[in-house]
């Protein structure tokens, strides 16, 4: 993708956000977690596959800050960009998902979505 964006071709995954000197969000390599659960706290969904500029625009809509964690994935022709938190305990992750009005959480150990 565009080198000036700081974001290369995105694979489904979870990333740490770094903010460049000019204020542009950049993403780390995908995080590899072998346990716990990812829970979205807020997100943006867009029809189609997002290019680098679209991902940056989605993150800016959520007022992303340095060190934030975002999950990015595409499913059924929709790209999702979510602020996420990692929670070790399944019960706490499900409770947090309910607070944030989420439909699912992601089980890192099993690499699968758990619908609520």
Can you give the pTM of this predicted structure?
Answer: 0.83
CA distance 104 to 97: 7
pLDDT over 90 percentage in the chain: 59
3-class SS of residue 71: strand
| pLDDT tens digits for range 2-26 | 444 454 556 789 999 998 898 888 8
CA–CA distance from 115 to each of 9, 10, 22, 104 (Å)? 28, 24, 39, 4
What pLDDT is attached to residue 66? 92
The better pLDDT of the pair 52, 103 is held by 103
| pLDDT tens digits for range 64-100 | 889 999 999 888 999 999 999 999 999 999 999 999 9
CB 77 within 8 A of CB 42: no
């Amino acid at each position: 993708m565009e080198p000036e964006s700081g974001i290369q071709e995105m694979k489904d995954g979870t990333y740490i956000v770094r903010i460049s000197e000019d204020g542009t969000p950049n993403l780390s390599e995908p995080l590899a977690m072998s346990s716990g659960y990812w829970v979205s706290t807020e997100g943006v969904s867009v029809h189609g596959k997002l290019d680098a500029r679209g991902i940056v625009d989605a993150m800016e809509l959520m007022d992303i800050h340095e060190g934030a964690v975002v999950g990015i994935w595409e499913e059924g022709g929709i790209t999702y960009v979510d602020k996420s938190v990692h929670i070790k305990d399944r019960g706490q992750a499900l409770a947090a998902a309910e607070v944030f009005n989420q439909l699912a959480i992601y089980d890192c150990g099993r690499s699968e979505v758990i619908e609520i």
